[in-house]
Amino acid sequence: MVRGADTGTKGHRMGGGRDEPDPGEYAAELSQIDALNQREAVAQAIDGRRADRPGPALGPEADPDGSRTTSRSRDTLLLGAGHAVAVAETLDDILKVLSRLHAPDFQLDGQAVFGVTGKFLNALGEHGFRPGGIDRTFRMPLTTHYPAVEVVRTGRAVYLESPEEYRRRFPATYPLSARKGRLSWAFLPLVTAGRINGVWLAGFRSPVAFTADERTLLAQAARLVAQGLERASTGEAELALSHGLRMSMANDGPSFPGISLATRYLPAGGGLVVGGDWFDSIELPNGRLAVVIGDVQGHDVHAAGLMAQLRTAVHAYASEGHRPDAVLSRASRFLSALDEDRFATCIYLEADPTTGILRIARAGHPHPVLRMPDGTCVIKHIDGGLPLGLLPGEDDYPVSVLKLHDGETMLLCTDGLIETGGHDMYSGWARVRDALSPGPGSDLEAMADRLLRAVSGPLPEHDQDRPITLNEDDIALLLLRRDGGVPKPDVPERRLVLTITQDRAQGVSEMRTELKALLHDWASPDQIDTAVLLASELLGNVLVHTDQAAAFTATVSGELGSRVLRVEVTDRGDELPHQRAPGEMASSGRGLVLLDILSDQWSVRPEPEGKTVWFSVEEAAGRHA
């Protein structure tokens, strides 16, 4: 990985007619603004009060190069306003925050927000107009020749630099604004999820030329208003759903000896508390640990709802004992049935704490990163398939097998950690590496905090000369480290494996002979007869009720006198066996009844293709009897 460009919030040059992002331009300015002053200024803006003492300079007197200082100060305040917008509860609070952009040469003192409902334009909020200036019962058909209607119709902003231009372009509706005392107007679209949901009106008491720099500043402010409008329109039930989902992910997962986990979730700036990103850790029935991380397309309530259902489905499939590829295949079909228009990326990882073996399946998700004990970080390229739910039927997810050595850490994350701040996958991975490499690998929590600080802050005091970044996408990350000192149990074991096909029924007789030989020194002869009987019943069920071959496995493990026999019969048939209560004269149907009565444990385990029926017999139980 190669070191990428420094990250930061997109600032903009305000001189020379340029409007391209310049993340480093205002670093010196940011370092001079006292954090306390910023917090007080934002609080005063929300409360509608002005500070008694001067804040950051907004006029030309602050610098001989007056216009440049004014522009830079406004951009700096816009960054601070972004944080306030993310926590504001009402649209009125949003507009009060943006009124801080008022300056002698930029007299923004009148704002209104119009929403689109059906075929009408409605007033949703205002700030700075005298009472009666903007009536909240305002309702205008979308056929009216009005600047805000033109914005909705064309998707482009409308800038009116003078009353004469307003009267010339919109003569029918100019009287609505003629007596408000404004000399310039800007109408900008409010876009949410690629759709225009409203229009922001900014009115000025002094003429504004609306240069490219001024238009860039207004476009950034409109983006904050759009975020606030989305948040204000989110009902209490939707917010409760989001909070509940986030709390469910905040709960600690299962703790495993030999494996340490650290997780983080950071929602996008503004809008919902949680979107489509998720992670989970699951205790598997085979004594292993599964971790999963995924990202459902979108950042709305619908994405959050789909995420909750998909997360539950993946957890259920994993708990049933399915392999990683089978979990993702089933999850893909599940998502397709829920919503054909949404897809999700995902990584499912199954870890064996005793050996460090990882089995990984990937569905269109960013590759994991491996951190070695000396801090070296490398991207582990994992074979994968298409995102979940993208093309039903195309759900082939190959399983990659890796070994995690003592002290090594694996990072799984969503693309928000990589791309926030204008980075692409290449430079974003370099930034992740630079945050992941330093420091000891023993403190996973500090490592996770360091990754988030590198992306979105808050910044440490010694690094306040860097721009503040608002993450534009949800961020979910999971760190998994293998700890040393977990010995692998050394259990004596003997095993018998057979395959019995439909055309070799005599294989059942051969199985009985070989199973008796496997149990030649078993303590209880009655248990040997029981095991042979139950194994014959399981094989007979496959040969009689399916057209599949049967894979037979018998394993004896443990110390002499306290051993356990486990017998498994696997076939590729879809139908699961059901326990019945046969009558006295019935000629079949007693297999599972015998299994339930005579074995110590038994169950049915779904497989990626087919099923496995198993039972176990404990030597100690027969010896005591």
CATH number, domain of 255, equals 3.60.40.10
What confidence score (pLDDT) does residue 587 get? 46
pTM for this prediction: 0.52
The answer on 294 and 203 residing in a single domain is no
Indicate the length of the chain as a whole number: 625
pLDDT one-digit tens code per residue, 249-277: 665 556 678 899 999 887 765 445 567 88
What confidence score (pLDDT) does residue 245 get? 63
The answer on 467 and 370 residing in a single domain is yes
Please report whether residue 26 resides in a domain. Answer: no
Nearest to 259 by CA among 371, 450, 381, 408: 408
The answer on 183 and 328 residing in a single domain is no
The answer on 275 and 144 residing in a single domain is no
| Greater model confidence, 15 or 184 | 184
pLDDT band at residue 534 using 50, 70 and 90 as cut-offs: very high
What confidence score (pLDDT) does residue 624 get? 58
If you compute the radius of gyration of the chain from its CA atoms, what whole number of angstroms results?
33
| Greater model confidence, 514 or 107 | 514
Nearest to 279 by CA among 296, 301, 298, 297: 296
pLDDT band at residue 150 using 50, 70 and 90 as cut-offs: very high
pLDDT one-digit tens code per residue, 320-349: 888 899 899 999 999 999 887 889 999 999
**Percent of all residues in the chain with a pLDDT value above 90, rounded to a whole number:** 30
Domain extent, residue 465, equals 237-482
The answer on 369 and 308 residing in a single domain is yes
| Residue 67: alpha-carbon gap to chain centroid | 43
**CATH value at residue 565:** 3.30.565.10
List phi, psi (to 5°) of 236.
-60, -35
pLDDT band at residue 370 using 50, 70 and 90 as cut-offs: very high
Please report whether residue 198 resides in a domain. Answer: yes
Query: Is the predicted pLDDT of residue 49 greater than 50, yes or no?
Result: no
Number of domains in the chain: 3
Average pLDDT over residues 564-570: 93
Please report whether residue 216 resides in a domain. Answer: yes
Q: Rounded mean pLDDT of the chain?
A: 77
| Greater model confidence, 451 or 285 | 451
User: DSSP letter string over 431-470?
Assistant: HHHHHHSSS-TT-HHHHHHHHHHHHH-PPPGGGTTSPP--
| Greater model confidence, 475 or 467 | 475
The answer on 135 and 278 residing in a single domain is no
pLDDT band at residue 491 using 50, 70 and 90 as cut-offs: low
The answer on 475 and 501 residing in a single domain is no
Please report whether residue 15 resides in a domain. Answer: no
| Greater model confidence, 436 or 193 | 436
The answer on 244 and 369 residing in a single domain is yes
What confidence score (pLDDT) does residue 16 get? 37
What confidence score (pLDDT) does residue 135 get? 57
Please report whether residue 22 resides in a domain. Answer: no
Query: Is the predicted pLDDT of residue 100 greater than 80, yes or no?
Result: no
Please report whether residue 434 resides in a domain. Answer: yes
What confidence score (pLDDT) does residue 31 get? 36
The answer on 430 and 386 residing in a single domain is yes
List phi, psi (to 5°) of 618.
-100, 130
